[in-house]
Amino acid sequence: MRYVIFGAGAVGGVVGGLLHKAGIDVTLVARGEHLRAIQDAGLSLDTPDGLLTLAVPAVEEVSEVKWTDDTVVLLSVKGQQTETALESLAAYAPAETPVVAVQNGVANEPRILRRFARTYAIHVVLPATFLTPGSVVQGSGNTPGILDIGRFPTGVDETAAAIAGDLVDAGFLSEPRADIMAWKYRKLLNNLGNGINAAIAPGPSDGEIYRRCLAEAETVLAAAGISVVSAEEDRTRRADHITERDRPSNSSTWQSLARGSGVEIDYLSGEIVLLGRLHDVPTPVNEAIQRAVHEIARTGAEPGSLDGAEFLAGL
Ligand SMILES: NC(=O)C1=CN([C@@H]2O[C@H](COP(=O)(O)OP(=O)(O)OC[C@H]3O[C@@H](n4cnc5c(N)ncnc54)[C@H](OP(=O)(O)O)[C@@H]3O)[C@@H](O)[C@H]2O)C=CC1
Ligand SMILES: CC(C)(CO)C(=O)C(=O)O
């Protein structure tokens, strides 16, 4: 299997870097200063075992990729960047190419399926940081990530099993799972913390804000009749595989704000807001977080700088 990693940032950098290190054929699709840094000096991957410099091939355009029957796309751009990525993939990748959403949220897979019949979903449990061009940081001090995979909307097949096998060879945990979207909905609940981390200064109100976002989301998902794996099943799967390294990392949404590269919040907290509107369930706290993150992106204010108590008082 050959892999095109479309979006070589935090997640794509760690996944692509470790697949390449395992001797698997990888091409990164990147852009701007990040692409130039990788092409000039290799991808710098900060791991608990030391700093790796990996000469991973990197291109700017998918037209530069040599497409073969065994090429798989791992799509690891942010949710708001998916449409543009698919536009260029659909222009050059053969229609039967398997395309895997290695992304948070639950809105990427249906968009991929409109363009590519062989759509797969990965439940991404892989903390990573990308703030400096050319350089990505593995956030877990132990196993780099848990990347269970299934076919979208449900099922598993030989391709899912083969991708899981390659990911395991690269050091990840990965199992094929027929109900992968139920796991991704559980992750969506975890990711309601992303907007809080991106908007609110760390403090005593964080827990209360998250509890209120979560309660809204659980009501919404129940009203919509959506299957979600239990928190207990998720904890059991994670066990103690993913550990924090020396420093706690900020969420991927915080990182986007810090890099000034747009925000995914409409597909995280905003997914709950959308479902709430569709099923007539109020979601005021998720909506306020969504608006706060957009406001920071628009004004360029410091990420994570709002006062939590004031935010709660303003609801
Ligand atoms: N970071 C984390 O810890 C985790 C992230 N996730 C999820 O994984 C997904 C990816 O997140 P993450 O890795 O953090 O995102 P990043 O922003 O770090 O990486 C995405 C990369 O894709 C690039 N990109 C976007 N569009 C294009 C394009 N058209 N051509 C070339 N390059 C492009 C971006 O460039 P540019 O910067 O110029 O926009 C960026 O370098 C998201 O859904 C996120 O929620 C899941 C678990 C953990
Ligand atoms: C690693 C984690 C859970 C942190 O919120 C994440 O998924 C993200 O940053 O997007």
- Condensed to tens digits (0 to 9), the pLDDT of residues 257-279 reads 999 999 999 999 999 999 999 99
Could you say which ligand is closest to the alpha carbon of residue 194? 2
CATH number for the domain spanning 6: value is: 3.40.50.720
From 158, 178, 198, the end of a domain falls on 178
Tell which one of 6, 29, 31 to mutate to probe ligand 1, the residue whose CB is within 8 A of the most ligand atoms: 31
| 176 phi/psi in degrees, rounded to 5 | -70, 140
| Residue 246 pLDDT level (bands cut at 50, 70, 90) | confident
Give, using CA atoms, the residue closest to atom 12 of ligand 1: 10
Q: Distance between CA 137 and CA 146 in Å, rounded? A: 16
Could you say which ligand is closest to the alpha carbon of residue 6? 1
Specify whether 299 is located in the same domain as 157: no
ipTM value for the complex:
0.99
pLDDT at 247 over 90: no
Could you say which ligand is closest to the alpha carbon of residue 137? 1
Q: Distance between CA 42 and CA 57 in Å, rounded? A: 8
CB 161 within 8 A of CB 171: no
- The pLDDT tens digits of the residues spanning 79-101 come to 999 999 999 999 999 999 999 99
Give me the pLDDT at residue 249, please: 84
Give me the pLDDT at residue 151, please: 98
Specify whether 7 is located in the same domain as 120: yes
Give me the pLDDT at residue 166, please: 98
Specify whether 66 is located in the same domain as 170: yes
Specify whether 245 is located in the same domain as 110: no
| Residue 291 pLDDT level (bands cut at 50, 70, 90) | very high
Give, using CA atoms, the residue closest to atom 8 of ligand 1: 103
Specify whether 256 is located in the same domain as 113: no
Could you tell me if the CB of 130 is within 6 A of ligand 1?
yes
From 154, 178, 202, the end of a domain falls on 178
Q: Distance between CA 217 and CA 211 in Å, rounded? A: 10
Ligand 2 interacting residues, C-beta cut-off 6 A: 104, 127, 190-191, 193-194, 251-252
Specify whether 218 is located in the same domain as 290: yes
| Residue 31 pLDDT level (bands cut at 50, 70, 90) | very high
Q: Which atom of ligand 1 is least distant from the CA of 129?
A: 1
What spacing in Å lies between the alpha carbon of 76 and ligand 1's midpoint?
6
| Residue 67 pLDDT level (bands cut at 50, 70, 90) | very high
Could you tell me if the CB of 103 is within 6 A of ligand 1?
yes
How many structural domains are present in the chain? 2
Domain that holds residue 125: 2-178
Could you say which ligand is closest to the alpha carbon of residue 128? 1
Specify whether 145 is located in the same domain as 230: no
CATH number for the domain spanning 202: value is: 1.10.1040.10
What spacing in Å lies between the alpha carbon of 130 and ligand 2's midpoint?
12
Q: Which atom of ligand 2 is least distant from the CA of 251?
A: 9
Q: Distance between CA 247 and CA 68 in Å, rounded? A: 41
Specify whether 126 is located in the same domain as 80: yes
| Residue 297 pLDDT level (bands cut at 50, 70, 90) | very high
Specify whether 202 is located in the same domain as 171: no
Specify whether 131 is located in the same domain as 197: no
Q: Which atom of ligand 1 is least distant from the CA of 268?
A: 45
From 151, 178, 205, the end of a domain falls on 178
Give me the pLDDT at residue 215, please: 98
Provide the mean pLDDT of the chain: 97
Specify whether 196 is located in the same domain as 81: no
Specify whether 223 is located in the same domain as 300: yes
Give, using CA atoms, the residue closest to atom 4 of ligand 2: 251
Mean predicted confidence (pLDDT) in 221-225:
98
The neighbouring-strand residues paired with 4 are 27, 73
What spacing in Å lies between the alpha carbon of 197 and ligand 2's midpoint?
10
